[in-house]
Amino acid sequence: MAAHCGELQLNVERMAKSYREGRNQFPLLGGELDGNLLTRLYAEASWCAKVRSADQKALMALTQELSIVMDDINLKAPLAAKGKALADAWSAPNESAARAEVATKLDRIAAIIREINQRPLKR
């Protein structure tokens, strides 16, 4: 369980970095950043929270924040997918700004999963 959740965290961290660099495909997480990938990612992160034993209220708050962040990403993803890597942002400024915002939100998802993973596992 811990290994799977740790791997999920690393994959989301890599996804944020890759997204910032202009990539749109994330095979380790299931493909293109879209509603389907976000739904699967939320389900896995929620499962990681459910197998933890400490402070269920805090874990619930983290999964609620995760849901809100993912909704924001889902709204901005179509515009952001047209954006360029930071080095080429001048050629599509609005789209690239959306891409940078989505990448920052992906960083937050990784941080939430990291916070979840710091809790002890149920026995």
pLDDT of residue 65: 96
Can you tell me the mean pLDDT for 3-28? Answer: 89
- Nearest Cα residue to 105 out of 57, 64, 63, 73: 73
Cα separation of 49 and 113, whole Å? 8
CB 2 within 8 A of CB 121: yes
pLDDT band at 102 (very low <50, low <70, confident <90, very high): very high
β-pair partners for 31: 26
Residue 89: pLDDT over 70: no
Residue 85: pLDDT over 80: no
Residue 27: pLDDT over 90: no
pLDDT, tens digit (0-9, with 9 covering 90-100), for 56-76: 888 999 999 999 999 999 999
CB 28 within 8 A of CB 22: no
Residue 91: pLDDT over 80: no
pLDDT band at 54 (very low <50, low <70, confident <90, very high): confident
